[in-house]
Amino acid sequence: MSSISEFYEKDRGEDYYNRLIEEIGGLNGKLNAFNAIGSISEGFPFSVKDNICVKGIETTASSKMLGSYVPPFNATVVERMLKKGFGFLGKTNMDEFGFGSFGLNCAKPARNPFNEKYVAGGSSSGAAVATSILKYHVAIAESTGGSISTPAAFCGVVGFTPTYGTISRYGLIDYANSLDKIGIMARSGDDAREVFDVVRGSDGNDATCTDPDYHDRNTGNIFVIDELTNGASEEVMREFSRLLDSLAGKGYRIERKSLKILEKAVASYYVIATAEASTNLAKYTGFKYGLKNDKFYQKYNDFFSDARENFGIEAKRRIAIGTFVRGASVKDRYYVKALKVRRLIINELAGILKDGFILNPVMPIKTPSIEEAESLDPLTSYKADMFTIPPNLCGFPHVSFTYAYPDGMPIGAQLTAGHFDDYALLGFLKEWESGFKYRFRYDIGAL
C-alpha cells in the first residue's frame, strides 16, 4: 500500500495540519528544507521546488534576483495536484536557479537530515530533505543534470526523473529548456507512481510535452557501463558491487560494457546547459524582469550591471561561460559540437537501453560534509555529476534509490531506462522495495 492510500485511511482534522506545520517550522530552522511554508488544511501534503510557480506564493528559485516575484498562476503540475485533492505544504529550498550539485549555492543551504554537518545534495536539496523528514509527503522537484537523483541519494529517498517531455514545464522557471524535467521525490516507488499518474501529460502550454504510449519493459538485463563507474571511490564501488551481487541473486543478468563517448558527456552537458542558462537569465535586468532597480538616474550600462549584481557567484559564472560558448565566433567550435555529441550519446545509449536497464552509482563519492563540499573548486564540482549527466543530457527516464547505509548514511544507485519506459523503472522499484526497508531519522506527521 502506498503511503498516500494509508494517509486517507484515518481522519485528519485541522489539529493534525496545525501540528504538522508547527513541527516543520521548528525543524526547518535547523535543516533549511523550506523557503516558505503554506497553510495546508486538507489533503495529502505535497511540496514544490522554489523554481515552480504557485499562485500567490513568492517564487524565488532561491535567488535574490527573484526575491519579490509572486506568480499570478499555478504551474500545470501544481494545478493538477490541487485538482486531485493534494494539499500544498510549501516551497522547498534549492541551489540558485538550479545551479549546483550540493545545495550550497543559496543564502541558507539545506542540511542533510541524517547528519546536519553533511550536504543534502542539489539542486533539489530542500525537496529531498522535506521528503526524508515527513512521514506523509511527496515533493515536486526538477532536474537538469542530476538535481533529483543526487539529493534523493544523499537524503535516502526515491528520486524519479521521467522521460523528457512527459510532464509539462509550464510554470517552471527555466534553467536549460532542452534539459529541464519536472520529477518527483517520495518515500516509495508506489507514491512516485501515484503522483506521476496525476501530473503527466500535455496541457497545450508546453510545446515539448507529449502524450506517448508508455512501455513497461523489464528484460531482466542490467548493464554496467565502465565510464559510469570509473573514478568512483573505493568505498562507493564496494557497496555498489554488493548491490550487483544482490540483484544477480534475484535473477537479474549483469553485463558490463564500455561506451567511450560518455567521456564527453560532462563537457557536452555544461556547454549546452550554460548556453541555454545565459539566454534564459538575460531577461533579468531589473527593469521588466527580476528585482527592480529604481536608480533611473544611472547610465544605461551601469543600470543593468548594477541590477545583475543580484545574481550569486555561480549564476554569474554560468552566465559568463554560456555567453562565451554561444558567441558567433566560437559557436561552431563549442555549442554546435556539443549538440552533435549529445546526439551520438543518445544513439549509443538507446541501443543499450532497448535490451535492459543501465545501473550506476549516483555519485562517485559518498555524501560529503558541508566543509568538504565547500572546498571543491568549480571544475571538480562539475565533474562530480559525471554519473548523473548522461540520462539527463539525453532525456532518458531514471530513478535514484537507496540500497545501503554505510556508517549510517544512505547511499544510492541510479537506474536508467529507454525513452518512455518510465513504468518499467517504477516496477523495478516496487520489486526492490519488497525486500528492502528504507530508514529515516525523522517521521514528522506520523500518527
* Mean local confidence (pLDDT), 317-333: 96
Segments in 42-101 forming alpha helices (H): 76-83
Residue 391 carries which side chain, given as an amino acid letter?
P
Does a structural domain hold residue 110?
A: yes
Under a CB-based contact definition with an 8 Å cutoff, are residues 34 and 47 in contact?
yes
Residue 68 is predicted with a pLDDT of: 85
Q: What is the mean pLDDT of the chain?
A: 96
What does the chain come to in residues? 447
Residue 201 is predicted with a pLDDT of: 98
pLDDT over 90 (residue 235): yes
Torsion angle in degrees (nearest 10) through CA of 377, 381, 386, 389: -130
End-to-end CA gap in the chain = 17
Let me know if 123 is a catalytic residue: yes
Q: Please tell me the distance from the alpha carbon of residue 205 to that of residue 97, in angstroms, as a whole number.
A: 21
Using alpha carbons, select from 224, 237, 233, 182 the residue that is nearest to residue 384: 233
Write the CA distances from 251 to 221, 361, 434, 442, integer angstroms: 9, 20, 15, 34
Work out the burial of residue 132: count CB atoms within 10 Å of its CB; fewer than 13 is exposed, 13-18 middle, 19 or more buried: buried
Residue 295 is predicted with a pLDDT of: 83
Task: Give the cell for residue 286.
Answer: 531589473
State the catalytic residue, choosing from 3, 49, 91, 143: 49
Residue 91 is predicted with a pLDDT of: 98
Write the CA distances from 40 to 82, 88, 310, integer angstroms: 11, 6, 32
Domain that holds residue 118: 3-215+360-433
Q: At 79, phi and psi to the nearest 5? A: -60, -40
User: pLDDT tens-digit profile of 354-365?
Assistant: 999 999 999 999
Residue 429 is predicted with a pLDDT of: 97
Instruction: Quote the number of domains for the chain.
Output: 1
| Per-residue pLDDT band at 370 (split at 50, 70, 90) | very high
User: pLDDT tens-digit profile of 42-91?
Assistant: 999 999 999 999 999 999 999 999 988 999 999 999 999 999 999 999 99
Does a structural domain hold residue 274?
A: no
User: pLDDT tens-digit profile of 134-180?
Assistant: 999 999 999 999 999 999 999 999 999 999 999 999 999 999 999 99
State the catalytic residue, choosing from 132, 147, 149, 168: 147
Does a structural domain hold residue 161?
A: yes
Task: Give the cell for residue 231.
Answer: 573514478
Q: Please tell me the distance from the alpha carbon of residue 444 to that of residue 447, in angstroms, as a whole number.
A: 9
User: pLDDT tens-digit profile of 331-354?
Assistant: 999 999 999 999 999 999 999 999
Global pTM? 0.97
User: pLDDT tens-digit profile of 176-212?
Assistant: 999 999 999 999 999 999 999 999 999 999 999 999 9
Let me know if 375 is a catalytic residue: no
| Per-residue pLDDT band at 256 (split at 50, 70, 90) | very high
Using alpha carbons, select from 346, 382, 4, 340 the residue that is nearest to residue 163: 346
Task: Give the cell for residue 324.
Answer: 562565451
State the catalytic residue, choosing from 123, 124, 143, 149: 123
pLDDT over 80 (residue 447): no
Does a structural domain hold residue 224?
A: no
CATH of the domain at 429: 3.90.1300.10
Does a structural domain hold residue 223?
A: no
Does a structural domain hold residue 234?
A: no
Residue 172 is predicted with a pLDDT of: 98
Let me know if 49 is a catalytic residue: yes
Write the CA distances from 283 to 27, 174, 256, 294, 326, integer angstroms: 36, 12, 46, 17, 17
Residue 113 is predicted with a pLDDT of: 98
Region of 395 please: left (phi>0), alpha (psi -120 to 50) or beta. left
| Per-residue pLDDT band at 293 (split at 50, 70, 90) | confident
Does a structural domain hold residue 185?
A: yes
Is residue 385 within a helix (H) or strand (E), and if so which, with residue range? none
